[in-house]
Amino acid sequence: MSSQLISKRIKALRIERNLTQGDLARILGFNDRQTISAIETGSRRVTADELINLAEKLSVPMEYFIDPFMLAGEGQFSWRHTYMKSTQLQAYERDASRLIATFRTLAPQVQHKLPLFRFELPLHRNSSYEEAAIAGERFAEYFELGEVPAKRLMQVMENKLGVLILLVDLGTFVSGVVCRLPELDSVLINRHEVSGRRNFTLAHELFHILTWNMLPPNVRNKRVEQLSDNFAGAMLMPEASLARFGNWSELAGQSLIRRLNEVANEMHVTAIALKWRLASLGKISFKIAQELPDEALRNNGRRRSLNDPAPLFSKRFLEVIALALEMGIISLRRIATTLELSIDDLENAFAEHDIVNPSPL
């Protein structure tokens, strides 16, 4: 555990407890707040005895300061959800933090390099919805996502942008979450949702990653969320890709619904997202889009149930875990406990991603 991370956790705990640097100095018996300031900035190392004293005085386990498989005061989270209480999101955030911290800790040890720079979109708070859509189309073209961008999006985000992507068990009302660390961007997707919705959530969260500094994500800011949706729709459904499906204005009623479902399946998106993309392009009218019943468009042949979710985590994440096990960096039992899985479940996860279990029983 680096002294820099320990310093960050001390500061995070102080802020969480609503303590000033002077308050913490008095609690620990230091003469002035400058000592705390020096510790928090990393210019002074905290000794083992001081750390033990701090844990005792603030009633926290030592693991809070030294466990590398957690985040504390480091990650900035943005959740894509409906009807979730803050206490519920905090619980999900703890679980997400554990997974992200595990990857961040093990990846460098198995020679998996974290990204050196971040790709950013030239969008800002005054950007129009049309500009966001143009950015989505250009992203798909620049990274050569092809006629069905959803198929290659995850690969490009991992390989070209260095984003950690994890498919996990999230609540019924949570679609995804993006987390920003100084050295790593991560996206967690609800693996129980239909594939088209997962793809849209991934593209939506990508927008937040690419505009984090100029347009910080905020679910209460409807305009930022709509900009993100316009980017995602255009990137997953570029106008050139949709052109090969012919003229939509000649379709109506059930024939339009069937065609939307068919094309949505082929493009690996939801039919609902497709109808609004077509409306934005003027291929169908907004009036027709509004009148089409969403329920008729939900069953597009790609729905997953709770008994048939997408494979857990991601191949890249589990490859790092497998290498760490193979190199003896961590034990099978320790990593299973960290991921809150049984050993059998972890072995099944390896198998789902065609990864040879490096520590067979």
- Say if strands 174-181 and 164-168 run parallel, antiparallel, or are unpaired: unpaired
Q: What is the DSSP string of 178-214?
A: EEEETTEEEEEEETTS-HHHHHHHHHHHHHHHHTTTT
Distance CA(143)–CA(300), nearest Å, equals 28
Name residues whose C-beta falls within 8 Å of residue 330's C-beta, 6 or more positions apart in sequence. 106, 324
Task: For CA atoms 295, 296, 298, 303, give the dihedral sign.
Answer: positive
Per-residue pLDDT of the chain (361 residues; tens, 9 = 90+): 577 788 888 998 999 899 999 999 998 889 889 999 999 988 998 888 999 999 999 999 998 888 888 887 778 888 776 666 666 777 788 889 999 999 999 999 999 988 888 999 999 989 999 999 999 999 999 999 999 999 999 999 999 999 999 999 987 778 899 999 988 999 999 999 999 999 999 999 999 999 999 998 876 778 999 999 999 999 999 999 999 999 998 888 899 999 999 999 999 999 999 999 999 999 999 999 999 988 888 755 444 444 578 999 999 999 999 999 999 999 999 999 999 999 999 999 999 999 988 866 5
Topology (CATH) of 3-66? 434 Repressor (Amino-terminal Domain) (1.10.260)
* First-residue to last-residue Cα distance in the chain: 30
Of 358, 356, 350, the residue nearest 313 (C-alpha): 350
- Say if strands 184-190 and 76-81 run parallel, antiparallel, or are unpaired: unpaired
H/E stretch holding 166 reads strand 164-168
Task: Describe the crossing of helices 150-159 and 222-236 by its angle, rounded to 10 degrees.
Answer: 110
What b-and-e string marks burial along 26-52, b requiring 16 or more CB atoms within 10 Å of the CB?
ebbebeeeebbbbbbebeeebeeebbe
Q: Are 235 and 304 in contact (CB under 8 A)?
A: no
pTM: 0.87
Name residues whose C-beta falls within 8 Å of residue 33's C-beta, 6 or more positions apart in sequence. 20, 21, 22, 24, 25
Q: Are 321 and 348 in contact (CB under 8 A)?
A: no
Write down the domain spans for the chain.
3-66, 75-310, 315-352
